[in-house]
Chains A and B, each alone.
Chain A
Amino acid sequence: MAVLCLADVSDGALALDATSKAITASTKLGDVTVLVCGPQAAADAAAKIAGVNKVLCADDAAYAHGLAENIAALIVGLADDFTHITAPSTTTAKNVLPRVAALLDVMVLPDVIEVIDADTFKRPIYAGNAVQTVKTTDAVKVITFRTSTFDLAADGGSAAVEATSGAGDAGLSSYVSDEVATSDRPELTSAGVVVSGGRGVGSEEDFALIEKLADKLGGAVGASRAAVDSGYAANDMQVGQTGKVVAPDLYVAIGISGAIQHLAGMKDSKVIVAINKDEEAPIFQVADFGLKADLFQAVPELIEKL
């Protein structure tokens, strides 16, 4: 079997963590060809991932900003040679792959967490409250993998890189601008430590406390949906079923009650620490270490003593 895996490219550079984990999952299905919509350097980076057979590089301005119409048409043009079309579950792939599937008249399998066999997969539904085992009858399987449940692939690969091209710009949409949150902190979905704040933090100003602790621990900053809805934190920081799914070595949940939708986004973390003043908060049922305390006392003390 042959797999075409769409690499995640951000601002011209390969998003190594997400792409590597999707390749780990893809190698369970067959020989992996990686499609890089970006410059040669990004394709070269993908070629170094172990388990990659071949890299196709589509270096064309039409594919540079993740525009779904253009990239989907490119993938459909390549699809004949493959039994599976995969990608990491990033916002780019979630935008593009369902379009690819519909053009191929097949269903899509989003957020797959386990590969059972070539046509049977596990995926969470109802915000992670249930896990479905799904068998597909489609000839081509279009899949996005939830990266937090797969390991990084080793490096040391030496796949050949070939240029590829498609029809280019479909003329349906155009890129206007990016507003990228610039930060010296690690990327949320690949960070070893994540410190998240919830509604209990109380205000956008006080969210600085969460950031301070994250910086002390060298971690990324996350937020619960309640904190995002209340305007304390940006939506791209949201951890949960409707936001990002993370699985760091250490997850620190501060002022987060632990709604199911949040737990779905972080329960695979190796060690979970929860600080909350309500001892009945459901977050304590999944925490390895719970501290019942006022966060405005405990967090400054933690920052000082670490």
Chain B
Amino acid sequence: MKVLVPVKRVIDYNVKVKVKADGSGVDLANVKMSMNPFDEIAVEEAIRLKESGVATEVVVVSIGEKKSTDTLRSAMAMGADRAILITTDQGVDIEPLAVAKLLKAVIDEEAPELVIAGKQAIDNDMNATGQMLAALLGWGQATFASELKVEDGAAVVTREVDGGLQTISVKLPAIVTADLRLNEPRYASLPNIMKAKKKPLEEKSADDFGVDITARHTIVTTEEPGTRQAGIMVGSVDELIAKLKEGGLV
């Protein structure tokens, strides 16, 4: 079984994001970039499926700037077998609908039986690509997965939902999106990082696919969120209780 994992290059999750003063966006110059953390979990899950003999090949795909090569090499250093890079001239943030259309085109050629994606990218926080891709392919979807088992032509997935967990069974081929607790991604070892440099990476242009990826959203402005004023420090539990009583909160 072939497993395909889309990965996105985003601002590292440890970096403090700065909004540009002119409202044109977030400052990405000289900022550390990494693989989207949820995509890392997706890559790890695919590799584990291969290690347990369920999957035969793990293909990673990234869409964006040429620099996304780094992200694909990281995924291959973790254990993915080969990579496909689709370059576009749309800058760093391509809308999930456009990404889903390009991924559909790749999937039509590659014919994987399972796609594991991160549940959301930590830059635009859209939480949409997996669901949109499933819609375009006419496949079933299991989002926010915390456990994945492949059995009898189906993915049995436990999902993180409001109020608890839900388990569903989705016929393959299907899309699964990874939530935090699905696994803990491994660190790539140095020998594996070296090996990853020799793994195949195919580069394509978004124009090759003939799909309409025109942006539907216009970003009017990007601003700092409203800030909250710091209050006061209290010296003791008694003082805290007194303050809460004053405010009618307890």
Q: Which residues of A contact B (CB under 8 A)?
A: 10, 65-69, 72, 90-92, 94-103, 105-111, 120, 124-138, 171-181, 187, 189, 193, 217, 225, 228-229, 235-236, 241-242, 244, 249-250, 260, 267, 271-273, 279, 284-293, 298, 301-302, 305-306
In the complex, the chain A residue whose C-beta lies closest to that of B135 is A102
B232 to chain A, nearest CB (A): 6
Interface pair B143/A287, CB less than 8 Å apart: no
B221 interface residue (CB < 8 Å to A): yes
Interface pair A173/B164, CB less than 8 Å apart: no
Q: How many residues of B contact A (CB 8 A)?
A: 78
B220 to chain A, nearest CB (A): 4
Interface pair A290/B232, CB less than 8 Å apart: yes
25 contacts between A and B (CB under 8 A): A68-B134, A99-B134, A102-B100, A102-B132, A102-B133, A103-B135, A108-B126, A108-B132, A110-B125, A111-B125, A129-B19, A130-B26, A131-B222, A134-B218, A135-B217, A135-B218, A171-B171, A172-B170, A172-B171, A173-B171, A217-B250, A250-B250, A272-B231, A273-B244, A289-B232
Interface pair A72/B135, CB less than 8 Å apart: yes
A70 to chain B, nearest CB (A): 10
Task: For A177, list chain B residues within 8 Å (CB).
Answer: 166-167
The residue from A68, A135, A138, A189 contacting B143, defined by CB atoms under 8 A apart: A68
Task: For A124, list chain B residues within 8 Å (CB).
Answer: 125, 225
The residue from A120, A175, A179, A298 contacting B165, defined by CB atoms under 8 A apart: A179
Contact with A along B218-231 (1 / 0, CB 8 A): 11111111001011
For chains A and B in complex, what number of residue pairs have CB atoms within 8 angstroms? 252
Interface pair B180/A98, CB less than 8 Å apart: no
Interface pair A176/B169, CB less than 8 Å apart: yes
Task: For A110, list chain B residues within 8 Å (CB).
Answer: 125-128
B22 interface residue (CB < 8 Å to A): no
Q: Which residues of B contact A (CB under 8 A)?
A: 11, 16-17, 19, 26, 95-97, 100, 120, 122-136, 139-144, 146, 156, 158-171, 174, 179-181, 216-225, 228, 230-238, 240-241, 243-244, 247, 249-250
In the complex, the chain B residue whose C-beta lies closest to that of A90 is B162
Interface pair A98/B237, CB less than 8 Å apart: no
B19 to chain A, nearest CB (A): 5
Interface pair A172/B164, CB less than 8 Å apart: no
Task: For B243, list chain A residues within 8 Å (CB).
Answer: 289
